[in-house]
Amino acid sequence: MEKFIIRGGAPLCGTVSVSGAKNAALPCLAACLLTDEPVTLCRIPPLSDIFAMCDILSGLGCRISRPFADEFCIDASHLTACAVPYELAGRLRGSFLVLGPLLARHKKVSIAMPGGCAIGARPIDLHLKGFIAMGATVQNTNGCIEASCRQLHGATIYLDFPSVGATENIMSAAVLAQGETIIENAAAEPEIVDLANFLCRMGARITGAGTDTITIRGVERLHGARHTIIPDRIEAGTWLAAAVATGGDVTVTNIIPDYVKPMTAKLSEMNIPLTIGEDFIRTKPVSSFKAVDVKTLPYPGFPTDMQSQLSALLCLSDGISMITETIFENRFMHAGELCRMGASIKIAGRNAVIEGSKSLSGAKVKASDLRAGAALVIAALAAKGDTEISDIYHIDRGYVALDAKLRTLGASIKREPE
């Protein structure tokens, strides 16, 4: 186990390049199971969650090579297993994304219930309802989902909630189903569009990705392809929050600014000046900024994955902010830790009221999940004195070399064994 030791107070300054999106890379890696031809995925972020997914693919018989740090070649020509045990599936939520592709190609799959950040109950009923509508038989036996089918067929599937994972899983299965599948009330996140683009490169026929209705016309087989993963919009937003919190001047590069709009729109509402280019956003030093109310929503609403980081920033605002978390029921774990650092946050159910103050102070805190960990890093960078953040393995699941990138921007951050 490792911890970060951060000495706060230095304004971040310089240019930082954003890595590929973990949440786009995971479903694309899982979708490699759909073809017996080799696939190359570029701009894969080398993160622990990605390596956990690779272990799952290897366990199923895929051969994986890595000519460059962020380029992965996956050969799923000889699948030797159709079961994912608890030891592998429990390592990340994204493990469940292999169910759809395996069911479509192999017709039979057994997978232990997924793990992932402890931010809520995170059921999988919407995924399963989709597979059942497409003709699969699904059973939950001893903590494992066992699904099988003769041949998946097209169906019209209405999702009660626009779940990102369910949309990805069902879309990935439907590409090899017989006939047409329509996903209604589908998630519209950029990661869904990226997956659809990748599947289409492999020969799938998909329209409507990025809207609430996705139509998939099944094909007989998919072929190999090469695809570059989109940049991580949550990493981009995290850098913006960190830059503003420290009064810094940071250019965040290699991004798609449109995908970061829910965050940049909030920053503008907070009177924070930004320069937005074609593939970069630059912050300017500000001495104060306004409090705002924020409600997390499915895309293009404000992302739940940015809520903790924006909350950390709002602890330094002028005024009172109200945060409403509508996606996950347990996503205020950072609040107690931020209060140790001098923040004033009151939680009532799905709402958090943040009273902004001019300063935070260093303290010993613990990262409870990935984005909560990022929020603590932002607070620590802005705080007076030293902050020790433990359990940083959560942060390493979602940010490539966060500490090294921070040092290039002038931050004082050390990684030490706990």
Calculate the alpha carbon distances from 59 to 54, 56, 78, 322 in Å.
8, 5, 11, 45
| Spatial CB neighbours of 63, under 8 Å, sequence gap ≥ 6 | 74, 75
Of the residues 28, 62, 117, 315, which is catalytic?
117
User: What is the rounded CA–CA span in Å between residue 36 and residue 222?
Assistant: 8
Closer residue to ligand UD1, CB minimum distance, 164 or 411:
164
Burial code (b: 16+ CB inside 10 Å, e: under 16) for 42-59 equals ebbbbbebbebbbbbbeb
Q: How far is the CB of 214 from ligand UD1 (least distance, A)?
A: 14
Instruction: Based on the residue annotation, tell me whether 117 is a catalytic residue of this protein.
Output: yes
Closer residue to ligand UD1, CB minimum distance, 232 or 391:
232
Q: How far is the CB of 383 from ligand UD1 (least distance, A)?
A: 26
Closer residue to ligand UD1, CB minimum distance, 188 or 338:
188
Q: From the centroid of its chain, how far is CA 150?
A: 33
Q: How far is the CB of 167 from ligand UD1 (least distance, A)?
A: 8
Q: Are 377 and 6 in contact (CB under 8 A)?
A: yes
User: What is the rounded CA–CA span in Å between residue 147 and residue 109?
Assistant: 5
Closer residue to ligand UD1, CB minimum distance, 100 or 303:
303
Calculate the alpha carbon distances from 116 to 28, 90, 95, 126, 151 in Å.
18, 7, 9, 17, 30
Q: Which residues bind ligand UD1 (CB under 6 A)?
A: 23, 26, 93-94, 120-127, 161, 163-166, 187, 303-305, 327-328
Residue nearest to ligand UD1 (CB): 165
Residue with tokens 């072929």: 223
Q: How far is the CB of 230 from ligand UD1 (least distance, A)?
A: 12
Q: How far is the CB of 80 from ligand UD1 (least distance, A)?
A: 26
Closer residue to ligand UD1, CB minimum distance, 112 or 409:
112
Active site residues: 117
